[in-house]
Structure 1
Amino acid sequence: MAGNLGNYSRVNNNDGSDSGEENRVDENALETDDLAPLQPPSYEDLEENLENGSRTMETMEIEEEVVYMNKLQRLKHRFENYIVIPVRERISDPLVQLLSILSNRVDFYLSKVGNPLILRRFVYILCMSLVMFYFSSNGLPGTGDSGFKGMFSDKRSFVNYARRTIDLSKMETDLEYLSSMPHMAGSKGDFAIATYVGESFSNNRLQLVLDAGFDTFINYYGKLNLNARTKSGEILQLETNQNNFSPLSPNGTISNSNLIYAHLGREADYKLLESAGLSFENCVVMLHFDAESVDQILRAQKMGFQAVLFVSEKSDNNDSIQQRSSAILQYSVGDPLTPGWSSVLPKKIDANASPIRPKIPVVPLSLNQALSLTQKLSTENAVEFENGWVSGVSGDITLNLDQETIEHASQPNWNIVGKIEGKEQNDKAIIVSAARDSLCYGSLYPNVGTTALLSLVQLLQQVKYEFNWRPLRNIYFMSYDASQYGHSGATEIVEAELGKIKNEIYSVVDISQVGVSPDGPKLDIQTHPLLAQFFNEMNSLHEIDALVRGVQQHGDWSAYLANGIPTTIIGASHVINRAYPIDTCDDTYDRLKSTSGDRFWEDMSEIVAYLFQVILELADNPLIPFDVEDYAKKIDVLLEDLKASSVESLNYQGIADGINLWKHIGEQWSSFKHMWTNIVMVEDDGLEPSLLSVHRWTWNKKLTNIARRQCDAAGVPNREFYKNVLFGPSLWIQQSHDSWSFPGVRDAIQDSNWQGAQEEINKVADVLRSSAELFIEETTNS
């Protein structure tokens, strides 16, 4: 429209304004213009012209745009006259005058005190400090819950937010995909699942710190021939398949070996067989799975059996086969070819010489396969066990077994590690981890755990961006591979970065075994004594029935615990005990969906909210939630159990003295916690004085050093991998006493090595005393 207006001469303003240069008439121009008449025409001339049809004036057409512009100008003038000018005259100008008067008065009074310019700046700083205090305490106006209390996060606000935003639809989608294919370590399915987890981390904008393969020993099913001959001469040929395979089982050929059934293969079971006069020479032993098969395999090997056959539990599909790893974890965990050091180093040992790999073949059978053999065992002179199965006697059945697995000395597999950076003490961190590989579909285990891990990543990242939050200390999320192969994935990380991990990591939380119990959300929590009281208090905040106990199980956390890093295993009892269909190819997503019930995802949501708060408290609580007083009390209880396990009189006074030192430290720590809470959280509503911050950081640092300093560089005798002299597995599981404390002492007592037992007791006492003294003397620079 502006371009069109350029074709017209200027139109005078018709709004009634006569002022302005553009409206002034040049009289001289009128006098000299020959075209303009000196006098106006008479009416007679005008009438004559009209009659002759002539016109002395032409009509000018004004476009609509010009009319529109005139209206805008009139509106502008009215706005100025009725709004702008009155506001300026009645409000802004008087206010400016008032401020000027006040400023002069303030300067007048300030000049009586000192330099007005300096004092003005002081008053400005004071006012801004008050404003900052208000917003730090209450958040921005209209934002509702800020998620913070003073300088620290409000955990309840975050948990409430998490409950509202847990994406159950995504969790279901994740679980369905994770369960859509077998994903044995090092396979194509494993790589696909690892890629999915890595992409999920990246899609949630989680910083990836490790997304690469590592090479370890892995073997796969090759072929298995198993047949038997009864006393009557009947030949039994068992039809086997790829599910009759136990990871890390060695190859072997056995001919004409007697079959003996020995229930759970515990020491008491073998004593019962020996008391019946049964010989174990040239025998294969058949066992039902116990809570952990590692003890069963090692004991069978020690007893001289030539192979172990495991019986799958009774179920609605008695042809299904429970597959468990045959790794012997009492001596070491990790890659069988590099026990105790990283697989990236060139040093390797022979797989058959590895302490992690059994020396005899291990073969799992379905219940129907096992019954086809045991039904031929005689009851005469045999032992009948509490489950109704009989041992049989030599000669009832002779077995021929030929197992050949496909072995890869350097097979790639993949760990995925993401990180949320801490904002305060970012040289300290926790790990939240889950196993990922499965011998088949693995829906209940380990896929539910991986699903929970992905959900936690999503929730914490949402909180991070929604509330502009970062934890006080780092959080690592780890998805481990090769858990079925001696827990190689987790162990490789520890062995490759042992120094850094021992300095940075103060807690490991493994959620591989979480699940929804049939009768509601229940958890079995195995944890370090430093955290036992924390979890007892956590349970009261959620509608979850949780059992809290010490660590009693091997797993991906073993390498951390072996090096003095407090670990926690959060699981469900049916997953920990590997109840059917876990460890079978019946553990599918479709089966879970059809049998889980209507409350499965609702209960899973409650469990994820619980895990979310656990992570917040561990990584973002200003005071690391270690209870040193309770820690000392629990060691005292375990000491009494140790005394009761020995028939010989030993001197435990050094351990008792060390415990007393830690009780005293615990009292000091409790006193500081109480003082800090009163000053910062109660009186100052979350605002922490700088000097008190330094003291808190010092206490936190000292707390993270407790467990890692209670290790011995030489390790447990004959099991050097395990450096932790207070907490770790004994060589043999003891049914009547604790098997996961004072491992060196318990090993010696089990062997009736009383001198060795006293030496180990003295070592524990020295470790308790020296670690306590270092704690007391430690400064911020140590």
Structure 2
Amino acid sequence: MSYTPLNDLPLDLPPAYEPSPQLQFDLEDPISQEPLTFRQHASNAAKSFNKRIIQPINNALDPIYQLYCYSNAKFEYYISKVGNPLIIKRFMYIFFFAIILYIATLTGLSSEGMVGLHSDFTDPLKLSNFIEMSLDPKRLEENLQYFSSMPHLSGTSGDLALGEYIEKFISKSKLELNPDVIFEAFTNYPKKPTAQLFKNDELLLDLQLFENVDDQYNLNNFKYAFNPGSPNLKATGPLVYVNYGSDLDYNFIKQYENPIVIIKYSPYLPAFRQIQMAEKHGAAGVLFISDPQLQSIYSIDSIQREPVAFTNKYPGNILNPGIISGSILDRHFDVDKKLRNSDVMPSIPSIPISWKDFKLIMKHLQGIGERVQDWDFKLYDEEIEIWLGSPDFKMSINPDLIERPFKESWNIIGKLEGSEQDTFAIVIGSSRDSVCFGGMESSSSAILMELMNIFSEMSLSLPWRPLRSIYFASFTGSKYNIAGSTNFVIKNNQFTQRDVYAYIDLDDLIQGDELEFSVDPLFKQLVRNSINEMKNSNLTALPEIKMNNIENDDLINHKYIFNPISNSLPFQQRYNVPGISVKLINNDNDKFKDNNYNKWNVPKYPKNSCLDTFNNFKENLIDPDMSKHSFITKLIANIIVKLSDTPILPYDIFQMIKEFKINLEEIKSSSNGLSNIDFSKVENLINKITFIAEQNEAFTITWNDICDNGKGTEPNLLSVNRWDWNSKLLLLMKVLIQFNGTYNDPWNRNFLYGLYDGEYYDHFELPGLSLARNSLDFDGLQNQLNEMESLLEGCISLFQY
């Protein structure tokens, strides 16, 4: 084999390739394309989306779908072997969702929220802490100052301005505003009253009847003397002083015919009862003076303007009181004639006067007629001698009132709806109107505003609502026969009769430093627990408050009292709504504090006078740091929480039955000797009704055991049982109503409690039995017992299974 050396290779070019069979094309410049249309762009985008998104997803899901079809076929195959596939699938569906609900219930919403871990209910301590943190004493003081910055008698521009202020707050808050706020009621206002003393037609004295108060107002109509609800009648007669105007006092002046009497406002009776006694004893008119025992509260020039319409007969609009007070009046009638025939307007006029004018009158009567030394009293270290005078001294009075028969007034109602049994409701009510500035009297409105603020913030800031609804009510017309609250209960008759189970009264809350109370037996234990919790709390700094009556269990033995001039009265009398009233009073000037009289209605501040101003409130250091306002606000807020958010209605039925037995025994013992009066059936029924209290106690204990005192979860079936039990408890007080009224009192349907019609007591138990006994109407007494027997039997049947 031989190789050719490289150097020997030929130096010519390599062999040429054969020509390509492909044709050669000439390259030309691209032709410019026209811009794509919107439709073409959309089509390209759709194709791109389909290629990039839809097709990859389909490619990924196709195997999963094939697996699902295979699994479903297998599942259907095996299900069909067990039984009917439709029925078995339903069972499995229910079982699956039951597991989910159980896990959700067991876990709870949040360990840090208002519903704690493993709990269906509110942690009361968290709510109490929130109340403590959200309460603002400065805001309380600012609201008090604003509410007392102007005169605001019912129906006036001041009352309207304050009502709009509350309404705007509710509209901006978490609360719901009740739109039905306007009602019409009779009102009257002073123009220029006169009271002149004559001796044999010679004018001796023209009383001032005007309260001198330094203020920024040029209009002075509100400073004139008048009694709201007094008739606009003139009267003339012999002038005579009759102390407190009791039946015994009138024995001293029997020789006078149709006199004008001077009466001290009583520590035992409201002014309207004194008017009724004056009418009974033939008086032609009344001049009122403040009780000299309160001279450290009122001044020599102050005038105390107490309402005088007869709320003990029928509360409500003076022109159409009672059950028709919620209806609209036909305006085509003689107003004067209707007023003369009214059951609630006095038939004689009255005017309040100052101590200064009273001293001038007594000087003119000095040494005239009989001296009643027992009636003498000291007034600012000056001894005032009481002389009865003679018929030669006559007084002529003219109230000179402006009457407004159809005056528009405004109730303002806010609602915090419950989360569970939302038709059940408690009402927190305060009086907004005042005859003058209403400094301390406006504490009720300021505290109502603070309570609304606290609960609105609580529902907004926390995942919480009460189990049952809370209504916050600012009532007006309180000086005119309690027209506002009566209109509310009558207009909302079904709601009040069926759903309201508690009323908290905010009137006259701050007067001193001694805690006082009037509580229905059903809630006495609840109130005492609330007070003790505040005393033992490390959070609450208590002001200087006397609570000895709480420590010695006096609350439990305390009499339950109806306040005859409070907005709570229509709720309690007409619908048997249990009431709660706690307040701080001042007993320093109470000469009768050692007696067994609870002077619930005696003002311990210059109420109903123009001395009751914010400046006087500050200057007298009544509550300089607002600690008393803060204490009472927190106390009431905690009571509200217990009433509205305790899973089982917090009724103390044992205490109710205990007091029922005591009151019946008192009636029975005072009726000894009355022939054919049978108490045995009612006594037996009261003993039987004890089983309701035992059932309630047993159910509460069982529920607490199962639900760990509200800290654990509640089974669904137990929830239904609890709601049913609450409904029965709510009806407990509703079935104990005499729908035809108690003895000779068609308005009052509460057979357990009422207003006393006598002189010395302001509490009155079993009013139907008591009035029939006092009237020596033995048939009426037995009829009342028979009605009571029927009501108790209905109550027992309600709780029998």
TM range (shorter): 0.7 to 0.9
Residue 469 of structure 1: how far off its partner (Å): 0.5
Moved more, 390-399 or 148-157: 390-399
Answering whether residue 726 of structure 2 is matched by residue 700 of structure 1, we say yes
Alpha-carbon distance in structure 1 between the residues aligned to 2:104 and 2:722: 27
% identity of equivalent residues? 27
Answering whether residue 694 of structure 2 is matched by residue 667 of structure 1, we say yes
Moved more, 215-224 or 740-749: 740-749
| 2:273 aligned partner | 295
| Paired residue type of 2:257 | E
Alpha-carbon distance in structure 1 between the residues aligned to 2:615 and 2:607: 14
Taking a change above 3 Å as real, the CA distance of residues 564 and 280 of structure 1, as seen in their structure-2 partners, is farther
Alpha-carbon distance in structure 2 between the residues aligned to 1:337 and 1:570: 33
Which residue of 347, 350, 359 maps to 1:362? Answer: 350
| 1:204 aligned partner | 173
Alpha-carbon distance in structure 2 between the residues aligned to 1:578 and 1:479: 21
Taking a change above 3 Å as real, the CA distance of residues 123 and 702 of structure 1, as seen in their structure-2 partners, is closer
Q: Which runs of 5+ in 1 are unaligned?
A: 1-110, 778-782
Alpha-carbon distance in structure 1 between the residues aligned to 2:581 and 2:615: 27
Instruction: Give the secondary structure class of the aligned counterpart of 1:252.
Output: coil
Alpha-carbon distance in structure 2 between the residues aligned to 1:147 and 1:356: 54
Residue 570 of structure 1: how far off its partner (Å): 2.9
Moved more, 278-287 or 240-249: 278-287
Residue 462 of structure 1: how far off its partner (Å): 1.3
| 1:151 aligned partner | 120
Which residue of 244, 252, 259 maps to 2:239? Answer: 259
Residue 374 of structure 1: how far off its partner (Å): 2.6
Q: Aligned-residue CA RMSD in angstroms?
A: 3.1
Which residue of 762, 767, 782 maps to 2:791? Answer: 767
Which residue of 242, 252, 257 maps to 1:281? Answer: 257
TM alignment of 1:235-274, pairs within 5 A: 235-241=204-210, 242-255=223-236, 257-271=237-251, 273=252
Taking a change above 3 Å as real, the CA distance of residues 591 and 149 of structure 1, as seen in their structure-2 partners, is farther
Residue 419 of structure 1: how far off its partner (Å): 0.6
Taking a change above 3 Å as real, the CA distance of residues 121 and 639 of structure 1, as seen in their structure-2 partners, is closer
TM alignment of 1:623-702, pairs within 5 A: 623-646=648-671, 648-649=673-674, 650-682=677-709, 685-702=711-728
Q: Deviations over 1:220-266 (max 9, x none)?
A: 112322111358967111122343101110022222x1222222222
Residue 580 of structure 1: how far off its partner (Å): 3.4
Asked if structure 1 preserves the Cα contact closer than 8 Å seen for 2:617 and 2:623, the reply is: no
Alpha-carbon distance in structure 1 between the residues aligned to 2:387 and 2:531: 45
Alpha-carbon distance in structure 2 between the residues aligned to 1:147 and 1:491: 42
Moved more, 484-493 or 296-305: 296-305
Moved more, 563-572 or 383-392: 383-392
Answering whether residue 597 of structure 2 is matched by residue 586 of structure 1, we say no
Instruction: Give the secondary structure class of the aligned counterpart of 1:227.
Output: strand
| Paired residue type of 1:134 | T
Asked if structure 2 preserves the Cα contact closer than 8 Å seen for 1:532 and 1:549, the reply is: no
Alpha-carbon distance in structure 1 between the residues aligned to 2:148 and 2:559: 31
Alpha-carbon distance in structure 2 between the residues aligned to 1:198 and 1:356: 31
Residue 201 of structure 1: how far off its partner (Å): 1.5
Alpha-carbon distance in structure 2 between the residues aligned to 1:470 and 1:757: 47
Alpha-carbon distance in structure 1 between the residues aligned to 2:742 and 2:465: 40
Alpha-carbon distance in structure 2 between the residues aligned to 1:643 and 1:148: 55
| 2:474 aligned partner | 479
Taking a change above 3 Å as real, the CA distance of residues 163 and 289 of structure 1, as seen in their structure-2 partners, is same
Residue 538 of structure 1: how far off its partner (Å): 2.3
TM alignment of 1:317-466, pairs within 5 A: 317-339=299-321, 340-346=323-329, 350-378=338-366, 381-385=370-374, 388=377, 390=386, 392-395=388-391, 397-445=393-441, 447-466=442-461
Residue 122 of structure 1: how far off its partner (Å): 8.1
Asked if structure 1 preserves the Cα contact closer than 8 Å seen for 2:174 and 2:416, the reply is: no
| Paired residue type of 2:448 | L
Residue 337 of structure 1: how far off its partner (Å): 1.2
Q: Deviations over 1:622-662 (max 9, x none)?
A: 01111111100011122233335547534322332232132
TM value normalised by structure 1: 0.78
| Paired residue type of 1:248 | G
Taking a change above 3 Å as real, the CA distance of residues 659 and 269 of structure 1, as seen in their structure-2 partners, is farther
Alpha-carbon distance in structure 2 between the residues aligned to 1:444 and 1:476: 23
Alpha-carbon distance in structure 2 between the residues aligned to 1:151 and 1:359: 60
Taking a change above 3 Å as real, the CA distance of residues 280 and 767 of structure 1, as seen in their structure-2 partners, is farther
Answering whether residue 726 of structure 2 is matched by residue 745 of structure 1, we say no
| Paired residue type of 1:304 | G
Residue 721 of structure 1: how far off its partner (Å): 1.4
Residue 287 of structure 1: how far off its partner (Å): 1.3
Q: Deviations over 1:600-633 (max 9, x none)?
A: 4122212111111111111111011111111000
Taking a change above 3 Å as real, the CA distance of residues 695 and 674 of structure 1, as seen in their structure-2 partners, is same
Answering whether residue 560 of structure 2 is matched by residue 550 of structure 1, we say yes
Q: Deviations over 1:373-424 (max 9, x none)?
A: 1333356633333563636154373211122211111000000011111111
Q: Deviations over 1:98-144 (max 9, x none)?
A: xxxxxxxxxxxxx9xx99x99999899868855752345xx34xx48
Residue 429 of structure 1: how far off its partner (Å): 0.8
Which structure exhibits the higher relative contact order, with contacts defined as CA atoms closer than 8 Å and separated by 6 or more residues? Answer: 2
Taking a change above 3 Å as real, the CA distance of residues 197 and 119 of structure 1, as seen in their structure-2 partners, is closer
Alpha-carbon distance in structure 2 between the residues aligned to 1:692 and 1:128: 16
Alpha-carbon distance in structure 2 between the residues aligned to 1:739 and 1:128: 53
| Paired residue type of 2:689 | W
Moved more, 303-312 or 229-238: 229-238
Instruction: Give the secondary structure class of the aligned counterpart of 2:399.
Output: strand
| 2:53 aligned partner | none
TM alignment of 1:75-90, pairs within 5 A: none
Taking a change above 3 Å as real, the CA distance of residues 172 and 400 of structure 1, as seen in their structure-2 partners, is same
| Paired residue type of 1:296 | Q
Asked if structure 2 preserves the Cα contact closer than 8 Å seen for 1:513 and 1:570, the reply is: no
Instruction: Give the secondary structure class of the aligned counterpart of 1:540.
Output: helix
Asked if structure 2 preserves the Cα contact closer than 8 Å seen for 1:507 and 1:567, the reply is: yes
Instruction: Give the secondary structure class of the aligned counterpart of 1:549.
Output: coil
Q: Which runs of 5+ in 2 are unaligned?
A: 1-77, 211-222, 378-384, 536-544, 587-599
Alpha-carbon distance in structure 1 between the residues aligned to 2:169 and 2:515: 26
Instruction: Give the secondary structure class of the aligned counterpart of 1:309.
Output: strand
| Paired residue type of 1:527 | V
Alpha-carbon distance in structure 1 between the residues aligned to 2:328 and 2:508: 32
Alpha-carbon distance in structure 2 between the residues aligned to 1:718 and 1:120: 65
How many residue pairs end up in the alignment? 652
TM value normalised by structure 2: 0.76
Residue 744 of structure 1: how far off its partner (Å): 2.2
| 2:68 aligned partner | none
